[in-house]
C-alpha cells in the first residue's frame, strides 16, 4: 500500500526534513515485505495558498484516485502505536492500494478536507506545529512497520 503524506508547507533542508527523510526511508525498507510502502510527500506551498480554503482545495487535488484518506486533526481519534500499526496493516491486508494522510497548515484543515477523510487521527490533545506533525507521522509509520515486522524497535 502506497503512503502519501499531503501537507501544507514546504520543508526546507534542516533537522525536520532530515528526520522525515530518514524515517520514510526506514519505513520503505521495513514495511515493503508487509505490503507497506513506498511513502511519498506531496507539499502545498503556503505562500501560494494562503487561506485555509485554498489550502484545502490544493490538498484535495493531491489525493490519488481511490485512496483511503486520513486527516491529522486534534479532534481525531487517539491511537496507541500498536493500534495505529494494526489499522495500517488492516488497510494494506484488505487490498487498499493507496492511503493518504493530510496535514493542514498553521490554521488547521478546512472543513471540506475533514469531510473527505474516512479517518481522523490525533497525536494528542496538544496542538503541534504542522512541520513537527510530519516528523511524528513519519516516525509512527516506521514504528508501525517495525511492529508488523516484529522487530524490537517498539518496546511497549
Percent of the chain with pLDDT over 70: 99
Domain boundaries, the chain: 2-149
The string of pLDDT tens digits covering residues 73-124 is 989 999 999 999 999 999 999 999 999 999 998 888 999 999 999 999 999 9
Residues 6+ away with beta carbon under 8 Å from 29 = none
- The pLDDT of residue 83 is 97
Task: Please give the average per-residue pLDDT across 139-151, as a whole number.
Answer: 96
Q: Answer yes or no: are the C-beta atoms of 23 and 142 closer than 8 Å.
A: yes
Task: Please give the average per-residue pLDDT across 131-144, as a whole number.
Answer: 96
Range 2-149 has CATH code 3.30.1330.60: no
Whether the per-residue pLDDT at 25 is higher than 90: the answer is yes
**What are the distances in angstroms from CA 137 to CA 85, 92, 106, 131?**
12, 17, 17, 10
The pTM for the full model equals 0.95
Q: 67, 51, 31: which is closest to 112 by C-alpha?
A: 51
Amino acid at each position: 500500500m502506497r503512503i502519501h503524506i499531503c501537507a501544507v508547507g514546504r520543508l526546507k533542508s534542516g533537522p525536520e526534513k532530515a528526520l522525515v527523510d530518514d524515517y520514510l526511508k526506514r519505513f520503505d525498507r521495513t514495511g515493503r515485505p508487509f505490503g507497506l510502502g513506498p511513502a511519498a510527500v506531496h507539499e502545498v506551498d503556503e505562500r501560494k495558498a494562503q487561506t485555509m480554503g485554498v489550502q484545502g482545495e490544493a490538498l484535495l487535488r493531491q489525493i490519488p484516485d481511490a485512496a483511503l484518506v486520513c486527516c491529522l486533526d486534534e479532534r481525531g481519534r487517539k491511537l496507541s502505536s500498536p493500534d495505529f500499526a494494526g489499522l495500517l496493516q488492516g488497510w494494506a491486508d484488505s487490498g487498499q492500494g493507496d492511503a493518504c494522510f493530510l496535514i493542514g497548515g498553521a490554521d488547521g484543515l478546512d472543513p471540506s478536507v475533514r469531510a473527505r477523510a474516512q479517518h481522523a487521527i490525533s497525536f494528542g490533545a496538544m496542538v503541534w506545529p504542522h512541520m513537527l506533525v510530519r516528523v511524528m507521522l513519519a516516525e509512527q509509520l516506521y514504528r508501525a512497520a517495525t511492529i508488523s515486522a516484529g522487530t524490537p524497535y517498539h518496546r511497549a
